[in-house]
Chain A
Amino acid sequence: MAEWAADKILRSRRRLINRGDFRPRSPEAAEGGCGVLGLAANLPIAGRHLLPASQQMHNRGNGKGGGIAMAGLDPRQQRVDADTLRSHYLVQVAYLEPSARGDVEQQFILPQFDVAQGYIIDHFEDHQQVPGLEIQPPEVWRYFVRPSETVLARFAEEHTLGELPSRAIEDEFVFQNSLQLNRTYYASLGEKRAFVLSHGRDLVVLKIVGYAEQVVQYYQLEDQVARVWIAHQRYPTKGRVWHPGGAHPFVGLNEALVHNGDFANYHSLCEYLRQRNIPQLFLTDTEVGVQLFDLWDRVYRYPLEITLEAMAPTTEHDFSVLPPKKQQLYRAVQAAHMHGSPDGPWFFILARSFPDEDRWELLGITDTSMLRPQVFALYENLVGAEDSVQIGLIASERQAIHACLRSLSAEDARFQALPDRTWVARGGSHTDGGAFRFSVSRRDGLVCADKFERPVRLAPGEHFDRRQHGPGHDAAGLLDPWQRRFLHAYDNGGPPEIWPWWCEVAPQADWRAIASALQWLEAFAGASGGEWEFAFDLLTLLRDRPAGLGGKKRASLLALLDERLENLLDRLCAIEDANGHLASRRRLTWEARHSLRPPEVSERGLALDTRGFPPEGDDSAARWLVRAHAMGWRHLIAYRWRGGRFAACGLGPASAGTRLDLYGDVGDYAASGLDGAEVHLHGDGQDQVGQILKSGMLVIHGDVGQTFLYGAKGGEVYVRGSAAGRPLINATGRPRAVINGTCLDYLAESFMAGDPLRGGGFAIVNGVTTGDDGRLQPLDSPYPGGNLFSLASGGTVYLRDPKCLVSEAQLNGGVFAELSGEDWALLEPYLLQNERLFGICLQDLLTVEGQLQPPRQVYRRVQVGRLEALHEREEVSDG
């Protein structure tokens, strides 16, 4: 039997491994999470748009490793022609010692390659010109090369690779050449003089000891463009890092990988690779991650689905619901690759280029246990063949995605500050596989697909076009009906009165009418008083509640509303303004923060503009909210929140009677520790929201992230959308949560909240979403996860599951029971409150396929079963 090509390639690397080689037991520096932003767009995106997101994720790195990957480059900016960019390898060498260049070139560049172009890449002469950059980044030379024919022929002959496609031989040669270069001039234990940053085609990597945005600044990439970008903030635990060899991304060949997490089986993965003649030189698990990917993808030539399965095997409930043929296939993959699949928490983002197809890709893969946060988003504005923009993003936090889009929208009217769709992946899931790729090509634009190659598509729709609809002009009395309606509502019943009318007109109304009406409303509001309150409440209502927009995209509406809301808030009387003695609301800014004082009798609220406040620490907006509360302010609004953490934390136990309304991108840990106050998030929540929540009310007008309500003890919580993984884990006491969407997995693990019918806690999961038409619709399954109520000893989950889609197998310790009248008496008030808050009608929830059903036909009760482990008792003899 002819030897398989893959084996030949691996055999040709034999010389790269010595038997006496150093065997790594563990990575050089343990590292934890990171702040990552990746994007892929159907048009070239300039580097400066990565800056705000990277800056906002500073706290996810520690300035000891920042990196950038770019794919889909502009040939002119790269100083080559398009053909050269497509055909040549961009070997980039980082010279830690610039003096090494002569030797490196003489040894590893000039003899092997035909060099079409070569230059030192632009950078500041003095690294201190980049604020905060402490360590001089390496000098980077970029060579556009192809192996010379004779060298290549010799390589192919020596290793009998002749039957391989010539490009495959070339790829392998470049790969091995870089490996040897690194071995000679870098190697983890030897002297570190130079190393290869990247060597793929139409793909470059740059990294420094610093933050990701400093890479952009130092190497002057603000105006450089690429179709695919990754920016990575590293957080190595090793304190002293003097060169960026360990920073991400790492490359295979035509792919660059960044990683968030840590492998638990690093040593055996190295052994797995060692058996395939792949040595480790940088001793980080990220290096291993990309080596595995490159092995399976390029050498073994696995279909992407198989590579993904080898990385993150499908197990548990997810495996058991796969079709038998797929099970058989996956089981074979697992038998062959379990020893090579990384354990521990991780996610990868890869930038890949396929120059022969004029295509580039951004790929996100998550581990099976969802231990690292990763958010995907998609935005498109299809306005004709030439002008359409499509962008896919992956990030550690939603706020980073928003920051990037905000930056784009500030320059380009085709973008909005919010994506059309945001979702969280669950590794190894049977529904989507937990991996998504955004592929962009000149021909097909941007295509998003999951692990099973199923496309992720956005419903077609129209975005507001700021270029065409300049604000402020009312063409031909378009505004009349709106004005009349607004004024009528102002006089009779306020904003809720408008809601049914809005639902009716919104689908038909054109953007121009809506924009003008909102403009009018803003003018009507003035700076204070009843008009202002009315306008503010109305804008908030329209923001919080999705209505059918008849093909208009909601992201645009939200952008319009946010702008108006911010304008209204900006008009409030500044706290330091001595003339505003009649103002019922005051405004606090960074500049005037020290003017904060207790409220006057007439002052009912304080609005805090978060611009300028640091995202954390003693001067953060979150701390100033606590100070304002301590001074007696009872209604606090914070706006333009840009990812800062700990909003509504630290108010203390005596906070009942206070209300906080938060607008913008509220960061992690919001309302953690809440004990009394009422908090509204007008938008999505991120991770660790409502941890140890004790009492009070938390309302989230969107989705919420990982470990929501961890260790909560009480309170009333309402979520319009879905929670990610592990909501209500270890909750005790009497928390009561209504989640209208669903959760990814591990809901109510170790729930200990007593008996809800006797004062304990519960969660209601409705499993519904609001469709583009504004109507309620059930999700595919009210609960897709494999684990529900694991090891719970108290509390109850009420699941809206009229078709009994959730199976016993998903429970571990819990049992299904029928809903009793007593249960319903308990639930109904919460569902009615849910209706008041979100407009999600109880009656609609009880309607199944057009039929109103009794509650026990709609809701199922998941209660505590008898689990041996929970009733572990020592038999005690008293003899």
Chain B
Amino acid sequence: MSGGRYHIPIAPAPLPAKAATAPFRIAEGDNYVKYGHPVFEGTEQRGDTHWTAEIITQTWYQAETGRIPISGAGYGGRFAGEGFDDLWLDMSEIVRPTRDGIHGREVISTEVDLGAGLTSLEFDSQGRLLTRMPTWITLPIPVVLDTLPLDLPIPGGLEAVIRAARLLDTLALVDPAALSSADQPSTHWLAPLLPPGSFDVPRLEWEARLVEVEADRQQAAEARARYPAALIVPRLVLSPESPQSVLDWARSGTRVVHLVADEMARDTAGRTLADAVHQVHTRLVDEAMRDRVTLIVSGGIAAAEHMAKAIACGADLVAIDHVMLAAWGCGLWADRGPCRTEREGVDPAWGSQRLLNLINAWRDQLLEALGAMGMREVRRLRGDIGRTIRHRTEEAEFRRYVGSAVPMARYPYLPTTQGGEGDLRWPPTLLQSSQEQARTGRPPSGSVEYRVGLSGGGFDRVAFAFELEADPAQVPSSDPAGFELSLSLNRRGDARPAIYLPLPWYGAGMSYGSVSLAVMLARARAAQHLGLFTSTGEGGYPEELVPYADWVITQVATGLFGVREETLLRARLIEIKYAQGAKPGLGGHLLGNKNTASVAQLREAVQGTSLFSPFPFHSVYSVEDHKKHVDWLKQVNPRALISVKVSTPTDVDMVAVGSYYAGAHVLHLDGAYGGTGAAPEIAKKNIAMPIEYAIPKVHRFLTAEGVRDELTVMASGGLRTAWDVAKAIALGADGAILGTAELVAIGCTRVGQCEKGLGCPFGITTTDPELARKIDPAEAWQKIVNLYTAWAWQLAGILQRLGLRSVHQLRGRSDLLVYLES
């Protein structure tokens, strides 16, 4: 099994018309509910905290298509949450690069071993193996199918599960009493789950490889006698006693244990599955027993990221239950409606295909996550909490850094609405106020909330202390001419040119392909007008931009599309894009239908095929390679400044200092809520840190190293307003880089369909020439200029309220902020 490639056959398996599911989707074009978007038109109903509408509809999508949910625009959901949402997966960057595993570009193994139970081997003096190897089971994926969770049998359900287990080459746990002789050919993939007192497996000749027992030691002993060749697995309810009981079972020779949480992924004491499992894992490590036992974990595993996170917390593999019902179209309890699947059953061929599709999509997402973490074996992820980021821990640190805390209720919110356009990061009122500024060129009128969104964390949880006492309807505003707002991009004092921007921000990279040429031109013209920058993104350098070359950053991204000496020599600032906040650890991805003739021509690729940029740079696998890479670009263009764009792993401080020593002028941190033309949902939501945590981490580390003043630190990834910019600077950045805000100015409402060629209803993120006409560059550039003008007045206004004259004085002044406690 260690050789060869594992392949799951996927096929379209749409829901039959009769099983029309609850109307989760807000619009007909949506494939599923995107994070932070409203569901159930006209209601706030969102399922429960665990089986959310997003999770259920994404499950439907995956079961139907076999594909990873991918969408455009940044993550719009809650900042963080409980349970699995309290954890992010870390990614590797430069110093410990990721693996380019997606679609088998590099093989990442998802194989797991059950019951090997070995800590070492013994050899004789001739080098021959003496250890008698136990029988163990190898599965190609870290997932087994648990028994269906509902009491009432779903007609066809069991058959679908059995068939899926066989085709996936994994195991299905089944009640032997429910089997018939028709299941005989599949018994290799079936593991009987013996209820208390039961041993009989009627009608089947069964060489069971694994047998689960629900009851006590005595039953386990009897099962062992009955099935001498099988692994006997106790099925234990996850509880605070689990560490001791697993240890006891392991010490008495049990090699596999199944721990079962409830359907909300909690143990009997209400602790999260992640915490409870990690405690079991740690105890086993302390007792030197971890390698002797395999842990199967189940209960509330609802999404691919849950699988990855459960494993990182100490599980070897997971068992899935309720999500199988969701795969068949059941709305579980999120829709509060009747479940047709339960009543009417499933067609076994269709039902198993839906499971195959789901697991394929899960496996691909696991590959994305493992790739981002830089791992090539899921077995090595087990218990590696070093590859996770704890929201709780980071938040505590953040809170300490910000200083004083006040109850959130004290913050004077202006009216904020939810529902309709936008999401939690960009609620409708924020879209509205931004577009108002883009229209008028003046600060917002202050009738609706213009400063913060509803994400519940980060910038939405900190405020300038003066805000508590002020009337938010009186929008701070002052003539920028009276303030120092400039940004220096070369603080190294090397021989390269000094570049000063009049405002402490500039435009983010958006490739030709992710947006239309009209949008690129509008951004470039706005940059020229304001004396700022915009960036080519990674899709090459359209000739139409050449007249604006002084204000255009040439981006060098991992795909190297369109990067030539000519385009490098054109630039005053070269941006090396190592990673992107919205998809840390993953390369760029342009779906086939956006790769039109003109896009393909600029990238010199094949029209109509999906274009993947690799990850990482295959010429940069280490920080020393990173220096070499920077040196190369400096060699090619001796007058250019170098910006290094990275996302936000926990060791972002190391990446930052590494970039300083590599000779970068600008460090560009792109946080996890950054925008994207197309990114897997799992990456947007679950990998790396929000920018709010990264900024202070980097600022403080560079300060302690004594090099802070030699590097310009720019922040991006979910910055929406002049207020966010000011907060980012107060947290320690020198300035901000903006993408989505510019698109919002020209009409984006975060529908999140940027990945589709014809998807963007406003013609912004499209490559369709017809649709692109919706954007008039002449009008659009003015809107961007207007928005930024309004921001400049507000930023000056904020400085005035703070009693500062210069934006430089604001940097790192976290003492001016307060933390809003719930």
Contact-residue size bin, chain B (C-beta under 8 Å from the other chain): 35 or more
CA of A755 to CA of B605, assembled, Å: 10
8 Å CB contact of B606 from A238, A652, A691, A794: A794
A72 contacts which chain B residues (CB < 8 A)?
none
Q: Determine the main DSSP class of A at the interface with B.
A: loop
- Do the beta carbons of A616 and B658 come within 8 Å of each other? no
A136 on the B face (CB < 8 A): no
- Do the beta carbons of B610 and A871 come within 8 Å of each other? yes
8 Å CB contact of A275 from B285, B603, B631: B285
8 Å CB contact of A34 from B566, B618, B624, B707: B624
- Do the beta carbons of A650 and B285 come within 8 Å of each other? no
A675 on the B face (CB < 8 A): yes
Q: Which of chain B's residues has its CB closest to A735's CB?
A: B604
- Do the beta carbons of B564 and A263 come within 8 Å of each other? no
- Do the beta carbons of B631 and A645 come within 8 Å of each other? yes
A732 contacts which chain B residues (CB < 8 A)?
561, 603-605
**Given A271-B290, A371-B97, A711-B563: A30 and B610 interface contact (C-beta under 8 Å):** no
A692 contacts which chain B residues (CB < 8 A)?
560, 563-565
- Do the beta carbons of B291 and A343 come within 8 Å of each other? no
A301 on the B face (CB < 8 A): yes
A127 on the B face (CB < 8 A): no
- Do the beta carbons of B123 and A235 come within 8 Å of each other? no
- Do the beta carbons of B105 and A33 come within 8 Å of each other? no
- Do the beta carbons of B4 and A645 come within 8 Å of each other? no
Q: Which of chain B's residues has its CB closest to A676's CB?
A: B565
- Do the beta carbons of B658 and A32 come within 8 Å of each other? yes
* Interface window among A157-165, A324-332, A519-527, A570-578: A324-332
- Do the beta carbons of B291 and A335 come within 8 Å of each other? no
- Do the beta carbons of B120 and A336 come within 8 Å of each other? yes
- Do the beta carbons of B610 and A729 come within 8 Å of each other? no
Residues of chain A in range 229-262 having any CB-CB distance to chain B below 8 Å: 235, 237-240, 260-262
B384 contacts which chain A residues (CB < 8 A)?
265-268
- Do the beta carbons of B566 and A653 come within 8 Å of each other? yes
Q: Which of chain A's residues has its CB closest to B94's CB?
A: A32
A792–chain B nearest beta-carbon distance, Å: 10
8 Å CB contact of A336 from B119, B386, B635: B119
**Given A239-B657, A343-B380, A876-B758: A372 and B103 interface contact (C-beta under 8 Å):** no
Most buried by B among A330, A338, A794: A338
- Do the beta carbons of B636 and A673 come within 8 Å of each other? yes
8 Å CB contact of A729 from B95, B119, B123, B614: B614
* Interface window among A313-321, A479-487, A602-610: A313-321
Q: Which of chain B's residues has its CB closest to A675's CB?
A: B565
CA of A649 to CA of B97, assembled, Å: 26
**Given A332-B129, A652-B569: A264 and B635 interface contact (C-beta under 8 Å):** no
**Given A791-B104, A794-B605: A653 and B624 interface contact (C-beta under 8 Å):** no
Most buried by A among B99, B106, B286, B387: B106
Contact bitstring B269-300, A, C-beta under 8 A = 1, else 0: 00000000000000001101111000000000
- Do the beta carbons of B564 and A675 come within 8 Å of each other? yes
A547 on the B face (CB < 8 A): no
- Do the beta carbons of B605 and A793 come within 8 Å of each other? yes
**Given A265-B375, A344-B96, A879-B28: A872 and B622 interface contact (C-beta under 8 Å):** no
A878 contacts which chain B residues (CB < 8 A)?
758
A777 on the B face (CB < 8 A): no
B43 on the A face (CB < 8 A): no
A212–chain B nearest beta-carbon distance, Å: 14
* Interface window among B240-248, B541-549, B648-656, B666-674: B648-656
CA of A779 to CA of B222, assembled, Å: 59
A170 on the B face (CB < 8 A): no
A489 contacts which chain B residues (CB < 8 A)?
none
Q: Which of chain B's residues has its CB closest to A653's CB?
A: B566
B29 on the A face (CB < 8 A): yes
Q: Which of chain B's residues has its CB closest to A5's CB?
A: B122
B722 on the A face (CB < 8 A): no
* Interface window among A54-62, A97-105, A112-120, A189-197: A54-62
A239 contacts which chain B residues (CB < 8 A)?
657, 660-661, 705-707
**Given A268-B380, A790-B104: A710 and B560 interface contact (C-beta under 8 Å):** yes
**Given A339-B291, A343-B380: A793 and B121 interface contact (C-beta under 8 Å):** no
Contact bitstring A729-750, B, C-beta under 8 A = 1, else 0: 1101110000000000010011
A706 contacts which chain B residues (CB < 8 A)?
618-619
**Given A369-B376, A711-B559: A315 and B116 interface contact (C-beta under 8 Å):** no
- Do the beta carbons of B97 and A345 come within 8 Å of each other? yes
**Given A623-B635, A710-B618: A301 and B564 interface contact (C-beta under 8 Å):** no
B377 on the A face (CB < 8 A): yes
B381 contacts which chain A residues (CB < 8 A)?
265, 268
B707 contacts which chain A residues (CB < 8 A)?
239
8 Å CB contact of B635 from A620, A746, A868: A620
A713 on the B face (CB < 8 A): yes
- Do the beta carbons of B591 and A873 come within 8 Å of each other? yes
**Given A303-B127, A874-B756: A345 and B96 interface contact (C-beta under 8 Å):** yes
Contact-residue size bin, chain A (C-beta under 8 Å from the other chain): 35 or more
**Given A34-B624, A729-B618, A876-B758: A25 and B127 interface contact (C-beta under 8 Å):** no
Q: Which of chain B's residues has its CB closest to A864's CB?
A: B606
B440 on the A face (CB < 8 A): no
B612 on the A face (CB < 8 A): yes
**Given A265-B387, A646-B632, A872-B67: A794 and B609 interface contact (C-beta under 8 Å):** yes
CA of A734 to CA of B605, assembled, Å: 10
Q: Which of chain B's residues has its CB closest to A330's CB?
A: B2
B460 on the A face (CB < 8 A): no
A305 contacts which chain B residues (CB < 8 A)?
127
**Given A332-B131, A749-B614: A30 and B380 interface contact (C-beta under 8 Å):** no
B568 contacts which chain A residues (CB < 8 A)?
673
- Do the beta carbons of B106 and A787 come within 8 Å of each other? yes
Most buried by A among B373, B569, B635: B635
- Do the beta carbons of B106 and A369 come within 8 Å of each other? yes
B99 contacts which chain A residues (CB < 8 A)?
369
B121 contacts which chain A residues (CB < 8 A)?
300, 302, 306, 332-333, 336
- Do the beta carbons of B2 and A267 come within 8 Å of each other? no
- Do the beta carbons of A338 and B379 come within 8 Å of each other? yes
A198 contacts which chain B residues (CB < 8 A)?
none
A147 contacts which chain B residues (CB < 8 A)?
none
- Do the beta carbons of A267 and B632 come within 8 Å of each other? no
Residues of chain B in range 94-112 having any CB-CB distance to chain A below 8 Å: 94-97, 99-100, 102-107, 109
A687 on the B face (CB < 8 A): yes
Contact bitstring B344-388, A, C-beta under 8 A = 1, else 0: 000000000000000000000000000001111101111111110
- Do the beta carbons of B624 and A60 come within 8 Å of each other? yes
**Given A306-B121, A646-B635, A730-B614: A33 and B623 interface contact (C-beta under 8 Å):** yes
CA of A645 to CA of B614, assembled, Å: 24
A274 on the B face (CB < 8 A): yes
A531 on the B face (CB < 8 A): no
Q: Which of chain B's residues has its CB closest to A745's CB?
A: B106
B637 on the A face (CB < 8 A): yes
- Do the beta carbons of A345 and B627 come within 8 Å of each other? no
CA of A507 to CA of B59, assembled, Å: 72
A514 on the B face (CB < 8 A): no
A261 contacts which chain B residues (CB < 8 A)?
621-622
B592 on the A face (CB < 8 A): yes
B5 contacts which chain A residues (CB < 8 A)?
316, 809, 812
**Given A30-B658, A32-B625, A876-B756: A749 and B105 interface contact (C-beta under 8 Å):** yes
- Do the beta carbons of B624 and A235 come within 8 Å of each other? yes
B234 on the A face (CB < 8 A): no
- Do the beta carbons of B106 and A238 come within 8 Å of each other? no
Most buried by B among A335, A343, A645: A343
Please provide the 5 A-B residue pairs with the shortest distance between their CB atoms, ordered closest to farther: A320-B3, A711-B560, A32-B622, A267-B386, A32-B623
Seed contacts A265-B384, A318-B3, A791-B103; 4 additional CB < 8 Å A-B pairs: A30-B96, A268-B386, A344-B375, A652-B566
6 CB-based A-B contacts, threshold 8 Å: A32-B95, A267-B386, A343-B377, A652-B569, A730-B613, A868-B10
